[in-house]
Structure 1
């Protein structure tokens, strides 16, 4: 166990990508402890990727890229602006709503920030909002990407913890995602009122609003099709990702006519690069997980925790604190692959609902994406907005505080995560 930790943290400190960090640490222990032949390493990588549900990942990524390439972001932004643009801090509200709507397409926080977030940040700056505030709100609003379905991290979580399903997690993420978006809008309203940020000057009339809504309807229907199809038993979550891809292509190319065939090769290349990055993490984490299992780390951790005599609530609070600190230094996806095999069995022993625990873990690790100094969303937002990191971080704290309050609500009130999936028949 000591060698595993030394290699893992040592290679990570050297700046080696997390996928190779996990693979190198696992392979080093297998070789040094003579746990098995080193041929086990490629076998574990392959077995980690040999899963049908993983096909959902490239398809959801491709669907989001097609929607972005087809400028669906502009359609969603006009709709959001028509809904809330006239209110105090209207462009900030439009920022949050656009990210929320786009999260029902992309399943990725980074895609939200780099796609619609970049557009709205520029519009907010042109309307007189401080650059740091616009970028901080964009990064904070993008948090809902992995929480509102579809979600790439939920697909991976379900593969890591057999006590939950992708469909159940999708349903469990809807209310928490809406709560986070609502908290961002309330925070934006409070700050905008105090600082005097005005709304948009013109409110569309009933006829204009109806036209904008009708124009946005095809884009708004995608999450409805995905969730409705899964719940209705029309297709599985994996098949839903393929349906989303075809739908995005048809809408962008033939309905909105903003997706050019010449852009498709670039979209495919970006999809392949992003998919390869995700799959590399999953494959390498399987080696890491194998070593943890052989060394009986989950069992030892469970026995130690049981000896503390913690209640279920105290356990969840301890997990919150640990994951918030852990998420500062590690991205959500490898965090799920490393920690869930250890923590999920403990939660089950404590009597915590698996869906409730999954949402607590996912929200915790996702918050790490906007937590300095390593938050991935902060760096993506800085790049697309060209705002210095210091300005973003100074404006970030009210939004991060609001999200932590929502996290505490989700911790103390499990029904916020479990009521909807249980009502729809998803008990796991």
Structure 2
């Protein structure tokens, strides 16, 4: 490894530890390489070229489209309808609203593909609902944050779309591979809820005066929201359209539902949605552009080849490598966001693990679960900060209350890591792998 590469890694780490914005840290580290490495200052045009070509990828168009679809869902109160449906399913159980929180995040995340969108859209409603029912506010906020991470693993998933583009892996196969692990995360959280409901005597909160007419109204209200993932996943898996086209279909569907079915989507609201989506997308695209420069530098320094030769040459067991990589991603979650980890490390580690016999589809799910759990890793997990903002609960109290949920998520991660069938059975059944 050259001195120049060590220097830019050091600059990147230093800036991130000092609290610099991720975009600034990655951009400065990438540009610094061309001044530290001898005879490279004349090639600064590479930065501009890689920055724009990194963003100029067709599948990246799905990111703003899925963001818009999620924003429309939130603005047209689809989220509250999903919560009503979840309450119909599990509200009668002890700790019913806690189960509703988990199931609601599972359903909403299965459309928006974003954990942060889940927290922002469902968080205020779920936390206030649980507070009124007598739940501790710290627990409510911690559960809301913890349940949100399952959304981007259950398809459609923005992180899995990113992994697909970065590693040339089938996005349909990745979507199928993420379905069961994502639901297992939800089951792990519901196990924690089940135990705590007995210890703390959580209340039972069924829908009162339940009638056939009310059940039908709840089902009809939720139907349009629940049907969106069916269209998206069914279209991609069947080959009717690509992930990018599926995202466009999701936006068109959400618009039609908001205007024709729910009739609460105005031009003013739509403009605000587009404004927020543009801001979110701009930050993601800047990270993509600068991360592409860093990836080019790593390739130019032959870092992937060096790592592969060292790991394969040492004859280390694949399970040890997987454990080390899990720890690496989880530690990085302390200070690097999920998208940055995906952009920097997916192209780096995928060929190494493929050489060890690990399926890229399996690794894609493992990596996505890691970077999502990283959003909960104290003290700097981004989901923890957003959960604190929407709930008003101090960060330290959310971290303490979320530790049991974090433990359950790590158990599920280990199961998915060492039992490949959990993630590979569905892609195999649909013929994506042998």
Correspondences of 1:213-362 after superposition (within 5 Å)? 213-362=219-368
Secondary structure of 1:234's counterpart equals coil
383-392 vs 135-144, which moves further: 383-392
- Corresponding residue number in structure 2 for 1:391: 397
Residue 23 of structure 2, aligned match among 19, 24, 47:
19
1:92–1:137: 8 Å Cα contact kept in structure 2?
A: yes
Please list every run of at least 4 consecutive aligned residues from structure 1 whose deviation after the TM superposition is greater than 3 angstroms. Answer: none
Deviations 1:170-191 (A, max 9, x none): 1111001110011111111110
Shift of 1:85: 0.6
- Corresponding position: 1:165 with 2:178: no
110-119 vs 239-248, which moves further: 110-119
Give the Cα separation in 2 of the matches to 1:312 and 1:205: 55
Shift of 1:208: 2.2
CA RMSD of aligned residues (A): 1.3
Give the Cα separation in 2 of the matches to 1:157 and 1:30: 27
TM-score by length of 1: 0.97
Residue 4 of structure 1, aligned match among 5, 8, 12:
8
Shift of 1:263: 0.8
C-alpha spacing 1:168/1:202, structure 2 compared with 1 (3 Å): closer
1:71–1:259: 8 Å Cα contact kept in structure 2?
A: no
TM-score by length of 2: 0.96
Give the Cα separation in 2 of the matches to 1:78 and 1:105: 17
Residue 180 of structure 1, aligned match among 179, 185, 194:
185
- Corresponding residue number in structure 2 for 1:40: 46
- Corresponding residue number in structure 1 for 2:385: 379
1:67–1:249: 8 Å Cα contact kept in structure 2?
A: no
Give the Cα separation in 2 of the matches to 1:270 and 1:326: 28
Shift of 1:261: 2.3
- Corresponding residue number in structure 2 for 1:117: 123
Shift of 1:55: 0.7
Shift of 1:205: 3.4
1:129–1:197: 8 Å Cα contact kept in structure 2?
A: yes
Structure 2: gaps spanning 5 or more residues: none
Give the Cα separation in 2 of the matches to 1:420 and 1:118: 35
Shift of 1:201: 4.8
Secondary structure of 1:254's counterpart equals helix
339-348 vs 206-215, which moves further: 206-215
Give the Cα separation in 2 of the matches to 1:12 and 1:232: 42
Equivalenced residue count is 427
Shift of 1:10: 2.0
Give the Cα separation in 2 of the matches to 1:308 and 1:320: 19
165-174 vs 367-376, which moves further: 165-174
Secondary structure of 2:264's counterpart equals coil
Residue 69 of structure 1, aligned match among 71, 75, 82:
75
